[in-house]
């Protein structure tokens, strides 16, 4: 099978209702990631028609809508590959922008806490790019195992721990920076989402109830108000529909100097607040 043949196969794939799983652009992107990351294809290989025997079971998973990152077992994030598995959220490029913002402000030996680390992509990026002392928390065993494995593979000194931010234990440690990309998609937004995300990525890491969309943000902000050092900074990735609510909540929890940045798609996606 060559790149063009795989593109055609994916472009023809449909779900159980007969809806196409990929448009032409998506089919090309998925085929490219699959052949480059799993079989080492170069651009020349892609466009000169290099043909190989590919594992039919893996191709079948693609035609069933399984995200390509789960099929190849890794995802590219901030120029590094991270192991991913089903049960762990696939890193997104918007989150890399959040890491870049934090790296602009973090100092070597700052103590940083990443809450809800998932694959460990935020924690590891900050540890390697800033020299900060980074701790990563999560509640899901799949995430903890994956974050530890990625830390080892990438030689990042990240301390990975199991904690539930909704039921925080007494922790006397103080932090210079706390960051989180918590669940923030409202249940009512499911209808507009791609089927491959809904069917394969962990709902625990994605969704919050419509009646309390700031559930995790509020819990983290309250925890941060007690554990950040004076002048410490709190960073979030957020739902662009909740920007004004986020500003009000952070100010109510005692934070100041709230700043918002847009992501590469022009959406208000990142927010920072300072504890005075």
pLDDT of residue 194: 63
Report the chain's C-alpha Rg in angstroms. Answer: 20
Report the range of poorest mean pLDDT among 50-64, 189-203, 234-248: 189-203
Q: What is the pLDDT of residue 205?
A: 55
Q: Provide the token pair at 232.
A: 């410490």
How many Cβ atoms sit within 10 Å of the Cβ of residue 234? 26
Percent of the chain with pLDDT over 90: 77
| 164 pLDDT above the threshold of 60 | yes
Tokens representing residue 118 in the block: 């998932």
Q: What is the mean pLDDT of residues 250-257?
A: 96
| Percentage above 70 pLDDT, the chain | 90
Mean of pLDDT over the chain: 90
**For residue 192, pLDDT beyond 80:** no
Per-residue confidence (pLDDT) for residue 199, from 0 to 100: 55
198-247 per-position pLDDT tens digit: 555 565 555 666 667 898 899 999 999 999 999 999 999 998 888 999 99
SS (H, E, C) the chain: CCHHHHHHHHHHCECCCCCECCCHHHHHHHHHHHHHHHHCCCHHHHHCCCCCCCCHHHHHHHHCCCCHHHHHCEEEECCEEEECCCCCCCCCHHHHHHHHHHHHHCCCCCEEEEECCCCCHHHHHHHHHHCCEEEEEECCHHHHHHHHHHHHHCCCCEEEEECCCCCCCCCCCCEEEEEECCCCEEHHHHHHCCHHHHHHCCHHHCEECCCCCCHHHHHHHHHHHHHEEEEEEEEEECCHHHHHHHHHHHHHCCEEEEEEEECCCCCEEEEEEEEC
- With tokens 């918590």, the residue in question is 182
Q: Using one digit for the tens of pLDDT, what is the confidence trace for 35-51?
A: 999 999 999 999 999 99
Q: What is the pLDDT of residue 169?
A: 75
Q: Are 13 and 7 in contact (CB under 8 A)?
A: no
Q: Is the pLDDT of residue 186 over 70?
A: no
Q: Is 193 or 27 the better-scoring residue by pLDDT? A: 27
Q: Express each pLDDT in 114-144 by its tens digit.
A: 999 999 999 999 999 999 999 999 999 999 9
CA distance 55 to 77: 25
Confidence at 170, pLDDT banded by 50, 70, 90: confident
Does this model's pTM top 0.85? My answer is yes
pLDDT greater than 70 at residue 102: yes
């Amino acid at each position: 099978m060559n790149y063009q043949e795989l593109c055609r196969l994916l472009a023809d794939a449909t779900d159980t209702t007969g809806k196409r799983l990929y448009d032409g652009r998506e089919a090309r992107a998925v085929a490219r990631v699959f052949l480059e990351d799993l079989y080492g294809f170069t651009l020349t290989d892609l466009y000169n028609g290099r043909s190989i025997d590919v594992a039919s079971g893996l191709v079948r998973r693609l035609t069933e809508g399984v995200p390509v990152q789960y099929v190849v077992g890794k995802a590219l994030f901030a120029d590094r590959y991270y192991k991913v598995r089903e049960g762990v959220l696939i890193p997104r490029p918007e989150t890399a922008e959040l890491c870049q913002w934090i790296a602009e402000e973090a100092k070597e030996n700052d103590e940083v806490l990443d809450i809800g680390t998932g694959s460990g992509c935020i924690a590891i990026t900050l540890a390697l790019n800033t020299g900060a002392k980074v701790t990563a928390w999560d509640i899901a065993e799949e995430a903890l195992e994956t974050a530890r494995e990625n830390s080892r593979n990438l030689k990042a000194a990240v301390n990975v721990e199991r904690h539930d931010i909704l039921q925080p234990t007494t922790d006397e440690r103080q932090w210079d920076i706390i960051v989180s990309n918590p669940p923030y998609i409202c249940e009512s937004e499911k209808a507009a989402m791609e089927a491959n995300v809904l069917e394969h990525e962990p709902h625990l890491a994605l969704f919050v109830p419509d009646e309390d969309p700031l559930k995790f943000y509020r819990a983290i902000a309250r925890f941060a108000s007690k554990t950040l050092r004076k002048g410490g900074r709190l960073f979030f990735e957020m739902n662009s529909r909740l920007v004004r609510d986020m500003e009000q909540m952070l100010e109510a929890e005692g934070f100041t100097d709230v700043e918002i940045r847009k992501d590469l798609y022009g959406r208000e996606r990142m927010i920072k607040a300072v504890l005075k």
